[in-house]
């Protein structure tokens, strides 16, 4: 175990006014932060892959938060296997700093989810750091689920959605930072999500959830240096997204930190936790699942040996990715009755 930086800070210098702004942080080439606090964002995604839209899945964008200009992307199979399909949220990753529902890797995975799971897939955006630091991403995740409740009770709902969606079978999943959001939404909603009625959340799928802490885990300290999500990038994402002056033991970052809510008495819906064996986040994901399970919660942990962070979106046709899709499908089937 080792220490790591414990406080986020704004870089400043007495000579900053005289100096030309220089680059302080670069997140996968699509987000750059400069010494004067200015921020540059690319209009292009960091993953340049073709969108594989063959017409087998219908999709459209909907605004769910007008004041913050936040949209979500809805997907459904063009030829559904049943009149009503479960609703499956997919909250994208990106260290709370980058990523979008519009990125091709996200869109292609949602196509696969909609077809393989025979589900209505909801892929919401959320506000990104460092312009909008935590807890705003979690608030936006929750708002996207409340939007679904609004559709379920609306006098004039969107028929594109309500004619197909089964609001009594809703599953919330998230990838990396999205997995963190899904966890924090689960803790807010508690078992049964009674505040969302008639929407019924049946379970959560955390795909390599992005948790942290001031103490390094073994996999963080000794994970592969050439990992897709390496320790330098992990630190950068946290430094840019944690509230100013706070630490990596912030309750939204570390579920078991010294100031975090005690989860032992909290009743939660079933949770599936997935991680790659070569992912630096592996130890945190495994500890999360084991601790909750030891407290009597319905939690399953699945680890894919040798797989890196985001393997299922990077190589969606690989054997592990196909296995994962079946595991998610079985999870939905198990908890849909």
Which residues does the annotation mark as catalytic? 176, 279
In terms of DSSP bridges, do strands 85-91 and 165-175 run parallel, antiparallel, or are they unpaired? parallel
Distance CA 237, CA 220 (A): 14
Contacts with 287 (C-beta within 8 Å, 6 or more apart), sequence order = 217, 256
User: Treating both helix axes as pointing N-terminal to C-terminal, what angle do 319-334 and 104-117 enclose, rounded to 10 degrees?
Assistant: 50
Distance CA 219, CA 296 (A): 26
Whether 299 contacts 293, CB under 8 Å: yes
What's the CA angle centered on 228, arms 243 and 97, to 5 degrees?
A: 25
Distance CA 11, CA 57 (A): 46
The DSSP element (H or E) to which 184 belongs, if any, is helix 177-189
Q: How far is CA 99 from CA 29, 103, 130, 173, in A?
A: 12, 7, 13, 16
Contacts with 146 (C-beta within 8 Å, 6 or more apart), sequence order = 196
CB atoms within 10 A of CB 234: 22
The pair phi, psi for residue 91, each rounded to 5°, is -95, 120
DSSP for 202-216 reads EEEEEES-----SBP
Distance CA 328, CA 172 (A): 11
The DSSP element (H or E) to which 167 belongs, if any, is strand 165-175
Whether 126 contacts 94, CB under 8 Å: no
């Amino acid at each position: 175990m080792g220490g790591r930086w414990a406080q986020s800070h704004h870089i400043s210098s007495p000579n900053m006014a005289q100096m030309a702004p220089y680059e302080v942080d670069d997140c996968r080439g699509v987000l750059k932060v400069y010494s004067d606090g200015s921020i540059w964002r690319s209009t292009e995604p960091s993953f340049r892959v073709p969108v594989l839209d063959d017409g087998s899945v219908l999709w459209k964008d909907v605004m769910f938060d007008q004041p913050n200009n936040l949209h979500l992307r809805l997907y459904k199979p063009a030829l559904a296997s049943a009149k009503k399909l479960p609703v499956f949220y997919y909250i994208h990753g990106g260290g709370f700093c980058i990523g979008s529902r519009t990125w091709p890797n996200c869109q292609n995975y949602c196509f696969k989810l909609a077809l393989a799971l025979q589900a209505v897939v909801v892929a919401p955006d959320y506000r990104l750091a460092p312009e909008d630091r935590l807890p705003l991403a979690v608030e936006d995740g929750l708002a996207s689920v409340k939007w679904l409740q609004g559709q379920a009770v609306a006098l004039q709902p969107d028929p594109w959605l309500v004619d197909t969606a089964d609001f009594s079978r809703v599953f919330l999943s998230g990838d990396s930072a999205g997995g963190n959001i899904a966890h924090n939404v689960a803790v807010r909603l508690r078992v049964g999500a009674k505040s969302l009625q008639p929407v019924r959340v049946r379970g959560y799928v955390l795909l390599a959830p992005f948790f942290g802490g001031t103490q390094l885990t073994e996999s963080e300290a000794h994970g592969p240096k050439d990992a897709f999500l390496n320790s330098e990038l992990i630190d950068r994402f946290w430094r840019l997204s944690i509230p100013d002056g706070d630490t990596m033991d912030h309750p939204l970052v570390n579920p078991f930190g010294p100031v975090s809510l005690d989860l032992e008495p909290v009743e939660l819906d079933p949770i599936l936790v997935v991680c790659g064996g070569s992912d630096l986040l592996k130890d945190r994901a495994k500890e999360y699942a084991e601790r909750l399970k030891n407290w009597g919660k319905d939690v399953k942990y699945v680890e894919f040996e040798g797989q890196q962070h985001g393997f299922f979106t990077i190589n969606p046709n690989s054997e592990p990715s196909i296995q994962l899709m079946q595991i998610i499908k079985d999870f939905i089937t198990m908890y849909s009755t």
